[in-house]
Amino acid sequence: MTALVWIILLMTTATGAGVVFSREPRQQVLAIAANGLVLTLLFSVLQAPDVAFSELAVGTVALPLLFLVALTSIRTDRKDPP
């Protein structure tokens, strides 16, 4: 296990903890995206480029976007704006 893998594993831990400890939903969505990006790096370093593609597109683009859109939908669903 090289130093690079260790560094990225530490980054995975840090960004994963970031997801758990961020309380504001929009911040949490961005934390999930950051975690997905670090996982993409991890999979590339571990020589699994196809898994990295999936993680990049699903974990960093699609999933955060769905969450963001859901949050927007909640915010715009009020009949009378406060």
Partner 1 sequence: MPRLRMVLFWCGVLLLIAPIAAVVCDMPRFGDHPLPYGDAINHDAPRDRHVSNTVSAVNFDYRGFDTLGEEFMLVCAVTGAVVLLRGSRGESVTAEPGTLPGRGLPGRSDAAVLISRLMGPFTLLFGFYVVLHATVTPGGGFQGGVVIASGLLLLFMGEGYRGWRRIMRTPWLDVCEGGGALLFALAGLAPMLTGSAFLQNILPYGKFRDMLSGGLMQIENAGVACAVMAGFSLVLLEFLEETREPEHDDT
**Contact positions vs partner 1 (CB under 8 A):** 1, 48-50, 53-54, 57-58, 61-62, 65-66, 69-70, 72-73, 76, 78, 81
Q: Read off the tokens for 57.
A: 């597109």
Task: Compute the least distance from the CB of residue 27 to partner 1, in Å.
Answer: 19
Task: Rank residues 27 and 72 by Cβ distance to partner 1 and give the closer one.
Answer: 72
Task: Compute the least distance from the CB of residue 81 to partner 1, in Å.
Answer: 6
DSSP class of residue 3 equals H
Task: Rank residues 14 and 46 by Cβ distance to partner 1 and give the closer one.
Answer: 46
Residue 77 has a CB neighbour count (10 Å cut-off) of 7
3-state DSSP: the chain helix, strand, coil percent, rounded to 5?
A: 85, 0, 15
Task: Compute the least distance from the CB of residue 31 to partner 1, in Å.
Answer: 20
Decide: 62 and 43 in contact? Cβ < 8 Å.
no
